[in-house]
A and B are shown apart, each in its own frame.
Chain A
């Protein structure tokens, strides 16, 4: 069936099967490969993107259910590589990644968290990232990065 989805600000019109998952649509139809598929069971959060501004796990959303919505992936979070989102800058400055596989989902979940409430405590960051797993277990630097980004946004 035909869907119209705004992906990273661009209007897309595509004919998709109802069973096509949003993660597969973004990667295979739109060619946006930043969104990783990790566990494929709604646990790890690597596939986190924003739908109408809210963080969701795109391995568990039907593409047809986002007809008419605006989807943002990591590729669309910042205007350009010279002008990164505060969360992206903070992940680089605070060494918030090791292997990098969880990073797209971490950054998208953290960006939604900071946008919701930039006045975050460390405990709130940890609870807010509960849906994102890092197999390198690099959580300390990730939490530090999100707190730094939150401070920058609220300053």
Chain B
């Protein structure tokens, strides 16, 4: 499979990348690892006329403590999220979820910013970022703004990012190992989640239980009121409308959400 023809520009810096986006508008797409975009281009589901390659912008690949948060550059690869000592100590849910993305070759290429901006509802990192209550920093030619993770994922492959904006940093609250766990159900190696559950600090987010990752608010409220893990997890499918596909129908997905939430919460509290 061969993508439709496009022009290619390698951006030298974040400023250069957003200037190029400003110039080309919605004809342009950013590419980093390309492991979500290129498959869509090969299937001709996406056909941007300009690709702006941001992969080699070193200034946007980092993991560092910044006050109460861990600041993660959007171009940090999954491989580096998995091995980051800072993340593993201060915000381990992100490392845990990154370890489930694809396979080693994919983790060598793919980036956290790419995964979040692509916003596949079955992806691992969007649910982890949502459960972490992280803040996303985006930049356009006019400057930067912050978007709460709860407002970033707006629908099926849709985000609050404007065409002229680049996701540049993910600010993840420092939780320590406070109840962090990611539970993922798949049938095959290196596959997307049929359902995924991310939990940290009493918050719970679901992957592939709707058109965007969701907070399991009923579970969180029950936990806050002192409910047992079993009783709270039984509420995991409330207010969800999962799709039916070749892997699972909606009833089965709701069942998985309850079971995986129970497993995730149990693992997170060490029982």
Contact = CB atoms under 8 A, between A and B. Distances in A.
A137 B81 CA distance: 31
B176 interface: no
Interface in A57-76: 57, 60-62, 64-65, 67
Interface stretch (A38-46, A77-85, A86-94, A142-150): A38-46
Given A18-B7, A61-B38, 12 more contacts: A18-B6, A19-B4, A19-B41, A65-B53, A65-B55, A130-B103, A130-B104, A130-B189, A131-B104, A131-B106, A131-B190, A133-B189
Interface string B84-125: 000000000000000000111110110000000000000000
A52 to B, nearest CB: 10
Scoring A1, A48, A65, A109 by chain B CB atoms within 10 A of each residue's CB, the highest score goes to A65
Interface of B: 1-8, 10, 31, 34-35, 38-39, 41-42, 51, 53, 55, 102-106, 108-109, 189-190
Nearest to A19: B3
A60 B103 contact: no
9 contacts: A40-B42, A43-B190, A55-B108, A61-B34, A62-B53, A64-B53, A65-B53, A67-B10, A130-B189
A107 to B, nearest CB: 13
Interface string A3-25: 00000000000000111010010
Interface of A: 1, 17-19, 21, 24, 40-43, 45, 48, 54-57, 60-62, 64-65, 67, 109, 112-113, 128, 130-133
